[in-house]
Structures are given as C-alpha cells and as structure tokens.
Amino acid sequence: MLYIAKVTLYHNTKGLIEEGATVEFTKDEVAEYDKDYFKDLFDTAGAEETAEVEEVEEAEPTPKKRGKKAEETAE
C-alpha cells in the first residue's frame, strides 16, 4: 500500500523519508508500528484511503483453574 509521510523520519529499511514523500509499505511493515503512531506519521495515498491499518491483538493468558482445595484455603 502507498502512504504519504506527514513528517521527515528515518525508517530502518527505507532510509530517510522526507515529509510529503510517497512510500510503499507491506502489511507486515505496517503491523510493526503502533496503530495510532503510524497514523501520526503517515496518510494513505490515492484510492486506498479507505483502507485501515490492521491492528494486531495480543492474546490474553487464560486464568488458571482452581480446584476446590485452592478455593477453601484462599478464604
């Protein structure tokens, strides 16, 4: 997807990106950024403006099950 830089910044694989420059990022490259941070740095370009940045959610650990004895001693 194509994006337009809102600020001048350095990207580890793309190098120096000047403000207003158009840059192409893959979904994997976009996923490396925090969603809000990416929106602060880049705007979508062209017809892809309706596309949203895909947010990667971390799975929450499942709580441990407690047996009857654990519940009695906890009280």
Local structure of residue 47 (DSSP, 8 states): G
CA distance linking residue 57 with residue 5, whole number of Å: 25
Write out pLDDT tens, residues 11-44.
Answer: 988 899 999 999 999 999 999 999 999 999 999 9
What is the pLDDT at residue 51? 45
Q: Where are the domains of the chain?
A: 1-48
Sign of CA pseudo-dihedral 68, 73, 74, 75:
positive
**Cα separations (Å) of 19 from 7, 8, 13, 34, 38?**
4, 4, 17, 20, 14
User: Quick check: 48 pLDDT over 60?
Assistant: no
